[in-house]
Amino acid sequence: MQSKTDGEAPQFDRLPIPNRRQIYCSIDGVEAAVCQGDTVLTAVLTMRRSLRPFEFADSQRAGFCLMGACQDCWVHLGSGQRVRACSTLVIDGMEIITSLGRRFND
């Protein structure tokens, strides 16, 4: 259903959810098929192990509180808008950029 973007197993495994429409988005330039109602964080972590690189160390981040309180999961949309990945729902055709315009593997 999805293309992985980092060569590692994803953080989340998708459980079958009946009657949820499949929609498409782009995550760092890679097309992904997700379920309508998924958050941006769910979409990213069903494809790879981390959300984005950590700014202050050589490590990766995967969200922290998962409820919009910690400021750890900010990403950009293709429009330039900055959103919290844990509380923003994916819309069909959405472009998600997790590292300030750089592709994840660059």
> ∠83-89-91 over CA atoms, to 5°?
100
Point out which residues pair with 9 in neighbouring strands.
none
pLDDT at 7: 59
What tens digit of pLDDT does each residue of 21-78 get? 999 999 999 999 999 999 999 999 998 888 877 778 888 878 777 777 888 889 999 9
Global confidence as pTM: 0.78
Q: What is the mean pLDDT of residues 80-100?
A: 91
The highest-level CATH class for domain 22-97 is alpha beta
- Percent helix, percent strand, percent coil in the chain, to nearest 5: 5, 30, 65
What tokens were used for 85? 């990945």
Q: Is the pLDDT of residue 94 over 70?
A: yes
pLDDT at 90: 98
Helix (H, G, I), strand (E, B) or coil at 42: helix
Closest CA to 75 of 29, 38, 30, 27: 27
First to last CA, the chain: 24
Domain regions of the chain by residue span: 22-97
pLDDT at 105: 44
